[in-house]
Chain A
Amino acid sequence: MSAPGFESPGQARLAVRCGGIDFKNPVLTASGTFGYGKEFDSLMALPALGGMVTKGISPKPRFGNPAPRICETAAGMLNSIGLENVGVEGFASSKLPFLRACGTKVLVNFFGTTFDEYVSCGEQLSQLDGVDGLEMNVSCPNIKAGGIEFGREARVLGDLVRACRAVTRKPLWVKLTPNTSDIVALARACAENGADAVSVINTITGMAIDAQTRKPRLATVLGGLSGPAIKPIALRMVYQIHRSGLGIPISGIGGIQTGLDAVEFLLAGASTVQVGTQNFIDPASAERIGREIDDYCRQHSVSDVSELIGALELPP
């Protein structure tokens, strides 16, 4: 048996191109659920991944929020980590050397707390050798605009994407927030301002309360919901963006636990998928999901996984 992405006669071609990057298979790991890659090195074969997206990087290191930072919910979890990370310099010196040799494509997720921080962070990261692409996290609160997420308003998002586009030649992806009434408008703002792909979706804002103590279960009260509970919403958003005809490639994220979950996202219109919360439950799951996509293709006589992208059959 060969690793996913390795072609041999009778096997499906799993390689895909998405957002300016060629991947050996469509399975990536999502930002914030896969550390800086090295944490998983002894638990799975990293070269079996299509790619990985690092923890979100900001210009300076951040220490994150007080505990409790996570809380389990029905078929999901809430988190409020606070974008803790080692900062651009720490990333370049202590994390990137390993990633350069890890055998898979590396996208670096990044963010700022101001417009200028986004631009400077994107610019610095785009100069680093070993970074195959950038993914903008636009779910960060805009401190100067009262803490509203940068990515919630199409006009602000479009300005931010355009500014970051101007400072990098690397593939630029934008991870959209689902906390919006019009996901297509956000995707359009990205497409019209030069983004190469959109990652859909980031976590959905939620909360949990302990009735016994009358207290919120997270120290910051609100957090981001992830896991299988959000899959139908993520699928719907991928589908809507794909159907809108914008033509921007989509990386689908939200509750993917199995190869069949991943195939559903491809059918809805995603070109790649990102495995997130499931990495916590089973650290080798992204590798397994790649194998299961391969199994699906063989069972359904799909010779090239790209045939599945947007191949949803709608009722007449």
Chain B
Amino acid sequence: MLRGDWGRDPLLPRPISLLSVAPDGRADLLARGVGRGTRLLEAAQPGDRVAVLGPLGSSFPDPEPETIDLLVAGGVGLPPLFMQAEHAAKRGLIDRCELIYGGRSARDLVLLAEMRALGVNLHLATEDGSVGRRGRVTLSLEARLDHHLSSARFSRLRIMACGPQGMLWAVARIAEAVNRECYLSLEAHMACGIGVCLGCATPVHDSRPYRYACCDGPVFLASTLVIPPTSDPPPRSAG
């Protein structure tokens, strides 16, 4: 949870994912200035004070030598997947994961040089076709799943995703269709980040109806979540 010295309005701290943490503890964040809080962060100057409570919540499972991890990032949902790729690289397992990264247009895709420097197998997608494959990131995910279908490791393929909610639900449905383990990092309205305000209730299949994105998540096994039935139009064709 992160908040600048910006008075009483906006009031609440912002839940923001870590992008990268250096050995000296210095952290990088990635945020897009869409709301008032993120626009204030965007305008922050070196030396400005920011209050931070964290790191909080769960993370994606560790990379493993025997798995294939398809990391799916939509727009500003990149940070936890970038960090996962960095984590894999540090453990010498970067060849065990692929990063599938999509946005509306080329200008939405950032840190491409940094990702290439990690050595991650990178697949880009844009809805306008300005870079990478034309179409939603889920189309690229399906293409990569087709590619791996005949692999001996397919049974140990995992999908990890972060991005807009509609994209996450689509990723979860794809994962379910191919019966692969899938982890989603969710975004939710929250005030505290520590399981107290109970604002970030997330419907789950369990003995109790909700879990909390702040302290039980933000990363959830997709099969535990109540995924709403699709109301999206069919994905546009790659052509």
State the A residues within 8 Å of B (CB). 33-35, 39-40, 43, 63-72, 74-77, 79, 81, 84, 227-228, 257, 277, 279-283
Query: Is there a chain A Cβ closer than 8 Å to B129's Cβ?
Result: no
CB distance from B210 to the nearest CB of A (A): 6
**Out of B190, B191, B195, which one reaches A35, CB within 8 Å?**
B195
Considering the chains assembled together, what is the distance between the CA atoms of A33 and B197 in angstroms?
6
Which residues of chain A have C-beta atoms less than 8 A from B192's C-beta? 279-280, 283
Counting chain B CB atoms within 10 Å of each CB, the highest count among A39, A72, A76, A283 belongs to A72
Give the number of residue pairs across the A-B interface with Cβ within 8 Å.
87
Asked if residues B201 and A67 are in contact (CB atoms below 8 Å), the reply is yes
Which residues of chain A have C-beta atoms less than 8 A from B11's C-beta? 72, 75-77, 227-228, 277, 281
Contact (A69, B201) CB under 8 Å given A77-B11, A280-B191, A283-B194: yes
Considering the chains assembled together, what is the distance between the CA atoms of A81 and B83 in angstroms?
33
Considering the chains assembled together, what is the distance between the CA atoms of A72 and B189 in angstroms?
9
10 more contacts with CB within 8 A, not counting A39-B195, A66-B201, A280-B191, are A33-B196, A35-B196, A69-B189, A69-B198, A70-B191, A75-B9, A227-B8, A279-B192, A280-B192, A283-B194
Asked if residues A281 and B12 are in contact (CB atoms below 8 Å), the reply is yes
State the B residues within 8 Å of A (CB). 3, 8-13, 51, 53, 188-192, 194-203, 208-210
CB distance from A74 to the nearest CB of B (A): 6
CB distance from A17 to the nearest CB of B (A): 28
Asked if residues A282 and B51 are in contact (CB atoms below 8 Å), the reply is yes
A-B contact pairs, 15 of them (CB 8 A): A35-B196, A63-B210, A65-B201, A66-B201, A67-B201, A69-B189, A72-B11, A75-B11, A228-B8, A257-B8, A279-B196, A280-B12, A280-B197, A281-B12, A283-B192
Considering the chains assembled together, what is the distance between the CA atoms of A277 and B3 in angstroms?
15
CB-CB nearest in chain B for A228: B8
CB-CB nearest in chain A for B208: A63
CB distance from B124 to the nearest CB of A (A): 30
CB distance from B227 to the nearest CB of A (A): 14
Considering the chains assembled together, what is the distance between the CA atoms of A34 and B11 in angstroms?
17
Interface of A is mostly: loop
Considering the chains assembled together, what is the distance between the CA atoms of A64 and B201 in angstroms?
9
Which residues of chain A have C-beta atoms less than 8 A from B198's C-beta? 64, 69, 81, 84
Considering the chains assembled together, what is the distance between the CA atoms of A307 and B58 in angstroms?
48
Considering the chains assembled together, what is the distance between the CA atoms of A40 and B13 in angstroms?
17
Counting chain B CB atoms within 10 Å of each CB, the highest count among A67, A228, A277 belongs to A67
Asked if residues B210 and A39 are in contact (CB atoms below 8 Å), the reply is no
Considering the chains assembled together, what is the distance between the CA atoms of A40 and B193 in angstroms?
12
CB distance from B226 to the nearest CB of A (A): 11
Q: 10 nearest interchain CB pairs? A: A70-B199, A280-B191, A280-B192, A35-B196, A75-B8, A75-B9, A81-B198, A67-B201, A228-B8, A69-B199
**Out of B10, B189, B191, which one reaches A67, CB within 8 Å?**
B189
Asked if residues B196 and A70 are in contact (CB atoms below 8 Å), the reply is no
Considering the chains assembled together, what is the distance between the CA atoms of A35 and B53 in angstroms?
17
CB distance from A99 to the nearest CB of B (A): 15
Considering the chains assembled together, what is the distance between the CA atoms of A71 and B12 in angstroms?
10
Asked if residues B9 and A71 are in contact (CB atoms below 8 Å), the reply is no
**Out of A67, A79, A283, which one reaches B53, CB within 8 Å?**
A283
Which residues of chain A have C-beta atoms less than 8 A from B199's C-beta? 67-70, 79, 81
CB-CB nearest in chain B for A61: B208
CB-CB nearest in chain B for A36: B196
Which residues of chain B have C-beta atoms less than 8 A from A76's C-beta? 11
CB-CB nearest in chain A for B209: A63
CB distance from B131 to the nearest CB of A (A): 29
Asked if residues B189 and A280 are in contact (CB atoms below 8 Å), the reply is no
Considering the chains assembled together, what is the distance between the CA atoms of A279 and B3 in angstroms?
14
Asked if residues B210 and A64 are in contact (CB atoms below 8 Å), the reply is yes
Which residues of chain A have C-beta atoms less than 8 A from B194's C-beta? 39-40, 43, 283
